[in-house]
Chains A and B, each alone.
Chain A
């Protein structure tokens, strides 16, 4: 432990975790919806709507934080010479996984980051999602231990890893220039947002921190399971929890209870299954939705495809009524989660190396 404390990387991870937790709460204080200061799946759904991929007028906003995550990551990776174009590992499977990452999150109402933001704000309905996420990560690890492998990413010629970050630069231009074909809600939760420059700055900072630290929620849960307190990511997660909890308390946003929680429903089974799907997929494709964005910024074209899948998923969950609301989970939401579980099961069968 003492050697760990002397390790600079350890402190970068802790800073990333604490930063994500504290700023996740503060962004809600500054204008983002309650408990959704940072929620990658919600940001993706908003951004898909802004790009015209769905027509829910209350869910259209090009979230600056999302752009910040990718651009912060590429800037940091370039600065530290860690940008490397790579890809070619089961690209289509990753694209579809990206879709189902958003399906699972939308049914739970939140990505793994928001799960912990909800938890630290006293929303105990999120415990079902937490159990699901941990179960999903555990199942994913069992699969990896038994030979499931999507294959190694190879260095790619042609700088294909630049394509997704370039796309996000374009999104930044759209955000600033606001061309007519980009849609912005003037009501509903998408109309609730922190000031643009603050959101962008927070996104860039967290993107850079996450790139340096490799911090991600499911990764922390995974490493916590594998290595316990020896894992820096585990400490990063604790820093996230402590930061978010203290900030929620300090800002008067802690509301302990089961009922009447913002952006939450009472269908625990589906919260569990939604997050189980997210946890499982995240282990197989090497990171939660947030981590996919960061990796895409580092030049990982496979993660970039997962991000594109997430954007498609953001459109689909709104257009097909898959996303859950406080009223509960729709039939199409339930079927989509089951389809996702079927997909990950098939993937586990098809990508298993049985030679060992």
Chain B
């Protein structure tokens, strides 16, 4: 391998590069943005983003939640309609809508709305997330699916209900876990 000057030159250069790399890494010393701080910063940023999102949602949807909790369900739905103008496509709109529909006994609509919410933001079925709504979704699925199945037995050609049942199975599957 080290038969001629060229090989020797290559070896020397390789050793040189490795030494230079080691010196660079070892001698870099503590920097303002050192590795640990960067990792912590990244984690912190994610946490801040999460908390900001939770705070943002809370701020915007507090009036809806207040109306819902006071039993003014139609007013709460109307407020959600208004919020959908300023926050179009926001999954929390679907989530609260599903919650209110469930309280109103509109099981099919509740399931569709909750499925849409989870499709847009899987945090709702994530036990570890501050946005987790597993008890609500579990209750919706367990209450609604038997009713929807019964109705479909009477009306097997109802495509809307068939889609709702599919949404229910989707929620069941997400609650069961597995990879995404």
Give the dominant DSSP class at B's interface: helix
Stretch at the interface among B13-21, B39-47, B94-102, B150-158: B39-47
A264 is an interface residue with CB less than 8 A from chain B: yes
Stretch at the interface among B3-11, B73-81, B104-112, B118-126: B118-126
Number of interface residues of B (CB under 8 A): 27
Q: Given known contacts A34-B178, A263-B178, is B122 in contact with A58 (CB within 8 Å)?
A: yes
B46: which A residues are within 8 A, CB to CB?
57, 186
A325 is an interface residue with CB less than 8 A from chain B: yes
A59: which B residues are within 8 A, CB to CB?
180
B83 is an interface residue with CB less than 8 A from chain A: no
A113 to B111, CA, bound (A): 33
B38 is an interface residue with CB less than 8 A from chain A: yes
* Distance between B52 CB and nearest chain A CB, rounded to angstroms: 14
Which B residues between 59 and 109 are near A, CB-CB below 8 angstroms? none
Render A109-131 as a binary contact track against B, CB cut-off 8 A, 1 for contact.
11000000000000000000000
| Chain B minimum-CB-distance residue to A255 | B176
B133 is an interface residue with CB less than 8 A from chain A: no
| A187–B129 CB distance below 8 A | yes
Render A23-56 as a binary contact track against B, CB cut-off 8 A, 1 for contact.
0000000000111100100100000000000000
A327 to B178, CA, bound (A): 13
A256 is an interface residue with CB less than 8 A from chain B: no
A191 is an interface residue with CB less than 8 A from chain B: yes
| B42–A180 CB distance below 8 A | yes
* Distance between B129 CB and nearest chain A CB, rounded to angstroms: 6
B35: which A residues are within 8 A, CB to CB?
179-180
A263 to B176, CA, bound (A): 8
A178 to B36, CA, bound (A): 9
A179 to B126, CA, bound (A): 27
| Chain B minimum-CB-distance residue to A181 | B38
A151 is an interface residue with CB less than 8 A from chain B: no
| 6 CB-based A-B contacts, threshold 8 Å | A180-B38, A180-B42, A183-B42, A189-B180, A260-B175, A326-B178
Q: Report which B residues bind A (CB closer than 8 A).
A: 35, 38-39, 42-43, 46-47, 50, 115, 119, 122-123, 126, 128-129, 166, 169-170, 172-180
Q: Report which A residues bind B (CB closer than 8 A).
A: 33-36, 39, 42, 57-59, 109-110, 178-180, 183, 186-189, 191-192, 255, 259-266, 323, 325-327
